[in-house]
Amino acid sequence: LGRRIEIHTDYNGVGKLQYIFGQRGIEPINSIYTDSVTFELLIPLETVDGLEKEITEATAGRADFQKGDSLYFVDKE
């Protein structure tokens, strides 16, 4: 069981988020670059709160973390 997450940030936060994703083995399912950046993720339900806290700390609260629907997905590992 996982959750769909959208993270919105400015371009200053992109490197920090990509570093966190790499450390946690998270591969975004979509990245949208406009005047800001949106990453779409599917992550295990039990990791949502920890990831939200880590992203908030790394971006000094400048990233918007939106929790979407819960759903079942296949983890590649």
Tell me the DSSP string of 1-20. Answer: -EEEEEEEE-GGGHHHHHHH
What pTM did the predictor assign? Answer: 0.90
**Band of pLDDT at residue 45, cut at 50, 70 and 90:** very high
Output the pLDDT for position 77: 60
Output the pLDDT for position 70: 92
**Whole-angstrom distance, CA of residue 13 vs CA of residue 58:** 8
Q: What's 61's DSSP letter?
A: T
Q: What is the mean pLDDT of the chain?
A: 94
**Band of pLDDT at residue 73, cut at 50, 70 and 90:** confident
